[in-house]
Amino acid sequence: MICLMLTAYFSKMLDGRCFLLSSGWRPKKHNVVTSCSRSSQILKKFKVEGLYIVCTPDIAKDLRYIQILKVWDILPLEDIPKLGHRLETILNRYTDDFINLCVEKYLEGDLEVPQSWPLSMEFSRFKDFSVTETQSDFVGDTSDGRSYVENSQVSESLLLMKFYALSSGVVNHLLSDREGRELDLPFEVTDQERDIILHHRSSFIVGRSGTGKTTVLTMKLFQKERCYHLAMQGCYDTENSKVEQSSATTDGKVLRQLFVTVSPKLCFAIKQHVLHLKSFACGGSDSTERSLIDMVDFDEEESQFKDIQDSFRDIPPSSYPLVITFHKFLMMLDGTLSNSYFARFCDAPLTHGQLRSSRSVAFQAFIRAKEVSYERFSSSYWPHFNTQLTNNLDVSRVFTEIISHIKGGLGSIESCNGKLSREDYVQLCEGRGSNLSKQKRDTIYDIFQAYEKLKKGNGEFDLADFVIDLQRRLKHEKYEGDQMDFIYIDEVQDLTMSQIALFKHMCNNVDEGFVFSGDTAQTIARGIDFRFQDIRHLFYKKFVLESRTNKHDERKEKGKISEIYHLTQNFRTHAGILKLSQSIIDLLYRFFPLSIDVLKPESSLIYGEAPVVLESGENENAIIKIFGNSGNIVGFGAEQVILVRDDAARKGISNVVGKHALVLTIVECKGLEFQDVLLYNFFGSSPLKNQWRVIYDYMKEQDLLDSTLPKKFPSFNEAKHNILCSELKQLYVAVTRTRQRLWICETVEEISKPMFNYWKKKCLVQVRQLDDSLAQAMQVASSAEEWKSRGIKLYRENNYEMATMCFERAGDTYWEQRSKAAGLKAIADRMRVSNPEVANSILREAAEIFDAIGKADSAARCFSDLGEYERADIAHLYGLRIARYGPHSSSFTHISSN
């Protein structure tokens, strides 16, 4: 086998010589790039058509450990010394044992074939720094006793590169016309990832941000797809026989796999990836290729699923593997059972037929108008509650309690109406992890009751009501949709227990069929609160035990569920950032052990500088210092961002920086990553104010307090410092958005001091004076393509304001207008209940813009929401004409003038 590092550029270079290498052919003379050290002696180069393939022997884990050739690059002679030098630093970290294995020769006649060893063989690839005497072998700051193998920019790292096993499929992909497109093929994963992928029982995967959770899930799905494909062709692969043997997969002709994500953006990316993988697994059939969605023309959630009906009954085999959002999953489940939840809303402008069509414009409009999201709860409901009740409570905390515990917890599923009684809810204060007193719970229950009453009066519903109704129907009615063979649920931390419990009806293969993945350090979704251990408990109680009572005793043994798997290697950023984020996690472990799962700290092979705390002069505003220099200001590029706490802060900063930088709130940036992040005034705007001094309490316990630090500080009190938990999780999400540089800047020194002192004491940050040269070095210009690509990412996150700015910077008028109109429509949707008149006039403006740029579907949707069905029809017809004749079709003029 040969492993090949791929870039689009390579496709031009391959002439089959790599195949020869992989089959044991070697040129008579192959040169060593450099030969000064033992490790670099394994570096080889082979000449191919005037270019050089630079590679090293390596070892991969398969059925046995096996020698492979790893190709690092193909490049002209003059570029080799630079790569050689960088590689040498990495290869010097290899252990002698590892190098000996790599160079062992095994000949069959004249052919050199790969040597292999049993998996029981033990060896380490990299030297263990803690036992090495010559520390100079390692790079960067090693004061923490860890070793870093590479010191490079994250974006240029050789160790974070993806490698692909060379096969005829890969070469076909390379040689086909896919210029400039990133390769979407299964790449070589780490041993840790591989073990999870091959584990055949139901499992739970946890790992911090960027550790490969989604990768493992999609590869698992791909693995099953490929095995099934081989099985159907009659090629039995002994290694993967588990899939073939699984009763679930042999009785039908279709392998039914379901992949569910919470965010539409992630769902879209995975759908693309899965279709590419499927096409690859099946030898790249044309029909699969054609069904790929146009990346750029991605629109609202429903358009992703145009080809999928709102029901799990008789799904066409070609729709599998089914990749959908959780929202779509609920709609499909609703459509599978009788008596749709939405039929009860008598003013719903729906017929049963319409309900079953996922394209029904009126149906989508109804949900948009009537669903109470967190935003609507806080803007339209909260102000109506008695202030005596709401006074000392945080709106997001109350929403979480209602959605996750009163209406969405494990206890709720078991109660008769799907909601906890006051008595049961108040009693939770005696249970694990409760930091709400009896009295506070009583008050929250009062608010809950007021909320339910008001909601009923408004004829509205929330997601929990919908889920309760589905649970109720499933109790009385057998699910008769397609049974799934395997279900994968990503971002599971953003779901409630009763939402997760719905999946048990979809798949009888409890022992092998479920994989859940997520990260509780990133739970900043409004309304959700749980740990992974809780899902495990739920899985055991609701999935395993309930399936056992229906089956015979022989299933007992099979009923065991897997341990939680932990992913620990970070692929997104360097050690400087990881150490800082771990320090935040440590505080969560200490203060809120019940709101986060304990994981081994992440590791990174890449050394990187510690984040920078910016200090500016007295009375000097850092933002003005960086962006206010009206002379030759470059501004932040598309890969850089200013992160702030909330909308108000965003508006304030945007007024100063204008279009010179992207400004996002922490909630908005979740799931996104940037090259550089400036975290602005996080502490200064914190509701915790001077209570951040409770950090000194932790420092005292850790023996980190010295004489320069305060002697007096508050002791930690769970009830009083409850809000610290969500503050730390937000801080964690903010600092983990960066790949390379992180600057932290505060306006109120007093409030940030405790955390800064904690970080300084642990040598996790460096303090820099913000002078002109630093301000300049922070700014990196971007090309029009980079701005557009960032705009598309933000558009998919529904962040239209910032997306519009990106498209403007990219000079793309069509997208600028489209994003502007989408933004207006979103504002109108939010105002629909509180101010219908203004909402309608904003919506009309959006409709006209959509219409003007030829975005007929969206224009039709707006006109339909406005009740202007005739115009909606015209726009819809126009859309059809565009699809048939193109945007300048004269027939439109004819229709609109009629």
Ligand X SMILES: Nc1ncnc2c1ncn2[C@@H]1O[C@H](COP(=O)(O)OP(=O)(O)OP(=O)(O)O)[C@@H](O)[C@H]1O
Per CB under 6 A, residues contacting ligand X are 160, 162, 189-190, 193, 207, 209-215, 519, 571-572
- The helix/strand/coil state of 590 is helix
Smallest gap from residue 215 Cβ to ligand X (A): 3
**39/523 with CB nearer ligand X:** 523
Residue type, 862: C
Query: CA dihedral in degrees (620, 625, 631, 634; nearest 10)?
Result: -170
Nearer to ligand X, 531 or 881 (CB): 531
Q: State the minimum distance, in angstroms, from the CB of residue 261 to ligand X.
A: 10
Nearest distance from C-beta of residue 591 to ligand X, angstroms:
23
Task: Report DSSP letters for 497-547, one per residue.
Answer: HHHHHGGGGT-S-TTTSEEEEE-GGG--STT----HHHHHHHIIIIIIIHH
176: Cβ–Cβ under 8 A, 6 or more apart, which residues? 284
Report d(CA 271, CA 304) in Å as an integer.
9
CA angle 755, 761, 763 (to 5 degrees): 100
Distance in Å, CB of 160 to ligand X, minimum: 6
Closer residue to ligand X (CB): 211 or 858: 211
> Is the CB of 209 or the CB of 498 nearer to ligand X?
209
Q: Pick the closer one to ligand X by CB: 452 or 673.
A: 673
Nearest CA-CA partner of 377 in 487, 440, 458: 458
Q: What are phi and psi of 343, to 5 degrees?
A: -65, -25
CB 662 to ligand X: min, Å: 19
Spatial separation of the C-alpha atoms in residues 647 and 637, rounded to whole Å:
21
Q: What number of CA atoms fall less than 13 Å from residue 256's CA on the CB side?
A: 20
- Pairing assessment for the beta strands 2-5 and 65-75 based on DSSP bridges: parallel
CB of 721 to ligand X, least distance (A): 27
Nearer to ligand X, 199 or 213 (CB): 213
Helix (H) or strand (E) run with residue 451 in it: helix 438-458
- Nearer Cβ to ligand X, position 455 or 531? 531
Q: Give me the phi and psi of 514, to 5 degrees please.
A: -120, 135
**Rounded to 10 degrees, what is the CA torsion of 691, 697, 702, 708?**
80
Which residue matches tokens 């003038």?
Answer: 897
**Of the two residues 488 and 863, which places its CB atom closer to ligand X in the complex?**
488
- Start-to-end CA distance of the chain, whole Å, equals 67
Q: Which of 681, 692, 678 is CA-nearest to residue 758?
A: 692
Tell the smallest beta-carbon distance from residue 830 to ligand X (Å). Answer: 27
Q: Extract the tokens encoding 542.
A: 């609701």
Q: Which spans in 54-155 are helix H?
A: 80-91, 96-103
Give every strand in the sheet of 564-567, ordered side by side.
322-325, 257-261, 486-489, 514-518, 203-207, 564-567
The CB-nearest residue to ligand X is 571
Kindly state the tokens that stand for 388.
Answer: 């005596």
**214 annotated as a binding-site residue:** yes
> Any residues with CB less than 8 A from the CB of 222 and at least 6 apart, and which?
186, 274, 277, 278, 281
Query: Which one, 226 or 855, has the nearer CB to ligand X?
Result: 226
CB of 819 to ligand X, least distance (A): 24
User: Least separation, in Å, of the C-beta of 207 and ligand X?
Assistant: 5
Closest distance to ligand X from the beta carbon of 49 (Å): 29
Residue 741, φ and ψ in degrees, nearest 5: -110, 140
126 or 345: CB nearest ligand X: 126
207 appears as a binding residue in the annotation: yes
- Minimum distance from CB of 131 to ligand X (Å)? 26
Q: Is 212 annotated as a binding residue?
A: yes
Establish how many alpha carbons lie within 13 A of residue 344's alpha carbon, considering only the half-sphere containing its beta carbon. Answer: 13
The answer to whether 210 is a known ligand-binding residue is yes
- Residue among 265 and 855 whose Cβ is closer to ligand X: 265
Which residue is associated with the tokens 């570096």?
Answer: 43
Q: Which is nearer to ligand X, 60 or 614 (CB)?
A: 60
DSSP code per residue over 12-63: GT-SSHHHHHHTT---S--EES--SSTGGGG-EEEEETTEEEEEEEEEEESS
| Residue 208, annotated as binding a ligand | yes
Rounded CA separation 211/533 (Å): 19
Backbone angles phi, psi at 596, to 5 degrees: -150, 145
Q: Minimal distance in Å, beta carbon 162 to ligand X?
A: 5
Q: How far is the CB of 736 from ligand X (least distance, A)?
A: 7
3-state DSSP call for residue 265?
A: helix
Given the complex with ligand X, which of 606 and 860 has the nearer CB atom? Answer: 606
350 or 605: CB nearest ligand X = 605
Q: Round to whole Å and give the CA distance between 560 and 538.
A: 14
Tokens 């502490």, residue located: 683
User: Nearest approach, Cβ of 579 to ligand X (angstroms)?
Assistant: 18
As annotated, the binding site includes 207-214
As annotated, the binding site for ATP includes 207-214
